Amino acid sequence: MRKFIISSIVFLFFILVTTYAQLPPHPNGGGGPGGGQTPVGGGAPIGGSFLIMLSLATGYGVRKIYDFRKQAKEENQL
């Protein structure tokens, strides 16, 4: 049991040491606000993708409701 505990501690120490990461870079590349660099959060718009994902999720939900009602109707007829 003692060997297991020691090997677990060594393994966890190894994982902690190797996964230590640096802080993320400043959003403006180190410059101050208004420095002409990319805005905080990047410059990619989310409007079109959000609407596409929302419509796909709505369609999926409608299809699941349709299948559920169809299955319940078939079970009631038997």
pLDDT digits (tens, 9 = 90+) for 5-54: 888 898 888 877 766 666 666 665 655 555 555 555 666 666 667 788 88
Instruction: Quickly tell me which residue has 């990619």 as its tokens.
Output: 44
Domain boundaries, the chain: 47-78
What DSSP string runs through the chain?
-HHHHHHHHHHHHHHHHHT--PPPPPTTTTPPTTSSSPPTT-S---HHHHHHHHHHHHHHHHHHHHHHHHHHHHHHH-
Q: In which band, very low, low, confident or very high, does the pLDDT at 62 lie, cut at 50, 70 and 90?
A: very high
